[in-house]
Structure 1
Amino acid sequence: MGKPDFPHSILEFQARFVDVRACLDYLFACRWPDGFACPRCHGTAVWPLATRRTGECTTCHHQTSLTAGTVLHKTHTPLLQWFWAAYLMSTATPGISALQLQRQLGLGRYETAWTMLHKLRRAMVAPGRSLLTGEVEVDECEVGGPEAGRKGGRSNIAAAAKVAVAVEVRGKGSGRVRMQIIHDASAETLEAFVMANVATGSVVHTDGWMGYARPPKKGYDHRPRSQRAAKREGNPEPIMPRVHRAISNFKSWLRGTHRSVSAEHLQVYLDEFTFRYNRRASPMVSFQRLLGLESHHEPTTLRQIISEGPSAAKRNLN
């Protein structure tokens, strides 16, 4: 049979998920696309219990939760609101802020919307995602801190943080992107970023920063080039336009959608931008991934989210 598909329009979403029963049926079909199979005895018959979030095998009486292993695990928020949150987050081109989600879903507490979005963001990163290949542009930038053209003060996007960025070259366009907070722009740190995100045998383009002076290990074709040298050679075109475009788009997206974020949670916003950027041609296929129906890692708890930034929920819930 295979897993059910995902809604391709808001009208299809409304028609398919009219109540909690429809959400539960969808979860059941995603979890057991070929019919129920008890994880203990492999029995094929199940009794629904309570609100049908849990099923009991008729043979061995083992109980299995429909939401276990997904972002919906042990949630007290109605499933229909979760489905709407995943749909809005996956289909809205610029994403959605916690305040917007609270208004759209009629949630009583801002913190509920904030928690839902953070749980959805943590379902975006696939543990075994493939490395970037071919030709890859690599650069680093600073998110927050002084900005060109800004009269005094500091950017309110986030506390200053260094971010490494890699983008695949696909003709004149861009392929996939990877973004990661780094402690510094030293040769060791940048080399580790390249090795963790770019497949060996790839061509790695960088600028003339001394942190790239030591070529990456394990068979990379490193081709550094400075903008100043390019101009001396009579080439006024900017070097590495794809990675610079990705950095600019990320900063514009962060300002436009989220206004400000706490430094403690900046990485998950980098992950969200990466997720959107890499699926920009087919955003609706992200619906199942966000609900955790295609993930292979444990869902994140609120305690884990808060522990990543102890003061985030009090100081800057956005």
Structure 2
Amino acid sequence: MKETLHMPTAGEDYPRTWTQFEEWFATEDDCLQYIERLRWRDGFECPRCGYRHEPYRGSRSRLICRSCHLQCTATSRTIFDKTRTPLKVWLAAAWYITSQKSGMSALGLQRVLGLGSYQTAWTMLHRFRRAMVRPGRECLKGTVEIDQSYLAIRERRETPRGMGQKRRTTKALIVIAVEILEPKGFARIRLRRIEEETALDVLPFIEEVVEPGSLVRTDGGSIYGSLGDTYQHERFAIRSVMPGSIPAHVPLPGVHRVASLLKRWLLGTHQGAVKPIQLDYYLDEFVFRFNRRAARSRGLLFYRLLEQAVMTEPVTYKAVTRKPTPTKRPYASNPKLWC
């Protein structure tokens, strides 16, 4: 089900400048009221029974449902849940994250906010990254390019006997989908890390992010052989090792441009030091930024990020750093795409 976006107004729903930001969020109560308005735009709705009415207001910013008497706060069950960091710092972090076109590293965020712990800044960034995927977002449509690319990731590892850290470079395989504009230009993108370059990994991704009936452009790989049952499929035979063959970036310029920008962003903003278990969330951040690169107002990006943050479940530092358990690769719901 697609979600209808509320169209906010600059200066009324979100601040235009940093000066206005400081005026709006001078105290913790100002921040809490803003979060409450974002979470319940049409008035308070009880998370347990769904009762819509002005709640009782208790101490410590508690909201008490008049029907079932549930006690909650505006930040409960959001990425701000049970945080000991002031909300003013959280909102300032959201502003800096969205106001910088290339993003911000955890060390840069720690310095600009004056945080005493690098771990705090790092966890804040990862919590915001989990809020950068909008539920029910629309599929890509029209002409869509699909291809895979490798990312070189420098993972820091502790050495024995307190000898400091060493870096190990690993390669991660990702699949890229780019919506092409006519006569030229790129629109939205989608990224996902996959285990292997096989139909069982790539085709479910295509089915999930590309609207049926769209024109899908790929290379001549055999893994795309069954796409013609659901999509208009345009294939290009690319043999880059043979003299006089067509370079891969000529028929598929979109995916190669996005792959280049992604690698530059990881190396520039994050120095290429991204742990593989968190790579998916860095890809979400890159998609969030790329798809909103033409936004006229940085304040609107701040609004959108917080709007999604109050709908995202909380995550702890342990959950962020926990190594995920291996799962079986998903199959496409359409058997024709993977058989």
Provide the TM-score with structure 2 as the length reference. 0.78
User: How far does the alpha carbon of each residue in 1:41-87 deviate from its partner, in whole angstroms, 9 at most, with x for none?
Assistant: 846343433332x2224676432211023211111111001001111
Give the deviation of 1:164 after TM superposition. 0.3
Letter in 2 for 1:6: Y
CA distance in 1, matches of 2:139, 2:278: 24
Q: Is the 8 A contact 2:35 2:75 kept in 1?
A: yes
CA distance in 1, matches of 2:137, 2:54: 35
Q: Does residue 291 of structure 1 match 2:306?
A: yes
Q: Describe how 1:126-137 pairs up with structure 2 within 5 A.
A: 126-137=134-145
User: How far does the alpha carbon of each residue in 1:232-260 deviate from its partner, in whole angstroms, 9 at most, with x for none?
Assistant: 69999712111111110000011110111
Letter in 2 for 1:268: Y
Q: Is the 8 A contact 1:2 1:34 kept in 2?
A: no
Secondary structure of the structure 1 residue equivalent to 2:266: helix
CA distance in 1, matches of 2:84, 2:169: 31
Q: Does residue 89 of structure 1 match 2:97?
A: yes
Q: Which residue of 1 aligns with 2:161?
A: none
Out of 160, 168, 188, the position equivalent to 1:176 is: 188
CA distance in 1, matches of 2:168, 2:189: 21
Give the deviation of 1:30 after TM superposition. 1.8
CA distance in 2, matches of 1:291, 1:114: 18
Q: Is the 8 A contact 2:39 2:311 kept in 1?
A: no
Letter in 2 for 1:267: D
Q: Is the 8 A contact 1:121 1:290 kept in 2?
A: no
Out of 226, 232, 257, the position equivalent to 1:221 is: 232
CA distance in 1, matches of 2:32, 2:169: 39
Q: Does residue 247 of structure 1 match 2:259?
A: yes
Out of 17, 20, 42, the position equivalent to 2:28 is: 20
Letter in 1 for 2:283: L
Q: Which residue of 1 aligns with 2:53?
A: 44
Q: Does residue 32 of structure 1 match 2:40?
A: yes
Give the deviation of 1:181 after TM superposition. 0.4
Using CA pairs under 8 Å that are at least 6 residues apart, name the structure with larger relative contact order, 1 or 2. 2
Q: Which residue of 1 aligns with 2:316?
A: 301
Secondary structure of the structure 1 residue equivalent to 2:196: coil
The alpha-carbon distance between structure 1 residues 164 and 236, as it changes in their structure 2 partners (threshold 3 A), is closer
Q: Is the 8 A contact 1:206 1:225 kept in 2?
A: yes
Q: Is the 8 A contact 1:137 1:240 kept in 2?
A: yes
The alpha-carbon distance between structure 1 residues 89 and 308, as it changes in their structure 2 partners (threshold 3 A), is farther
Runs (5+) with no aligned partner, structure 1: 147-155, 311-318
Q: Which residue of 1 aligns with 2:278?
A: 265
Answer with 39-48 or 295-304: which moved more: 39-48
CA distance in 2, matches of 1:254, 1:292: 26
The alpha-carbon distance between structure 1 residues 128 and 82, as it changes in their structure 2 partners (threshold 3 A), is same
Give the deviation of 1:6 after TM superposition. 1.9
CA distance in 2, matches of 1:58, 1:269: 41
Aligned-residue RMSD, C-alpha: 3.0
